[in-house]
Amino acid sequence: MLNPRPVCILGLLVCVGLLAYAFYMEHVLLIEPCPLCWLQRFVFAGFAVVFLICAIQNPGGWGRYVYVLVFGVLTALGAGLASRHLWLQSLPPEAQPECGVGVGYMMDIKPLVDVIAWAARGTGECAQIQWTYLGISIPGWTLMAFVLLGATVIVSLIRNPRLRRRDIFR
């Protein structure tokens, strides 16, 4: 059985490592992140924060199910963004969306909610494959990371020997 605390600490370290590599790709390899890349980074940062809180708290009873719900939402959000990104990359060039203005400019002229909605739709920059490893592009790797992180921590929270059905009703 998996203990949630070490799983959360490992998940936190994985998220920090992924974010560090994303910034390495941006600032050293000079691969400019697209709007969907930024949103995926925010989801990884959200994962990291929740992993840290869960590791510190080490919840029991109902608290575990709250974390299962939060990690489930983060996993679905991240996997949805990465899937959208992969779909945009799979489109033929004539069907890809046009490149838009930069995120900084959008932040200057639009409210944050509008910028997030615009970024989630993706732009022409999102359809470009700038980097691959083993034939898999960045959103393919992030999709795998979201699913593996979410599934591992959810299983560790649900299948813990300290948690029994009777604990739910206490």
* Number of separate helices (H) and strands (E) present in the chain: 8, 2
Q: How many residues does the chain have?
A: 170
CATH match of 4-168 with 2.40.30.200: no
Task: Quote the pLDDT of residue 16.
Answer: 96
Among 32-36, 119-123, 161-165, the minimum mean pLDDT is found in 161-165
Hey, which bits of 117-162 come out as E strands? Answer: 132-133, 136-137
Burial class of residue 131, CB neighbours in 10 A (0-12, 13-18, 19+): exposed
Quick check: 74 pLDDT over 70? yes
pTM, rounded to two decimals:
0.78
Residues 87-112, mean pLDDT to the nearest whole number: 68
Most confidently modeled of 83-87, 95-99, 144-148, 165-169? 144-148
Spatial distance between the Cα atoms of 64 and 59, rounded to a whole number of angstroms: 6
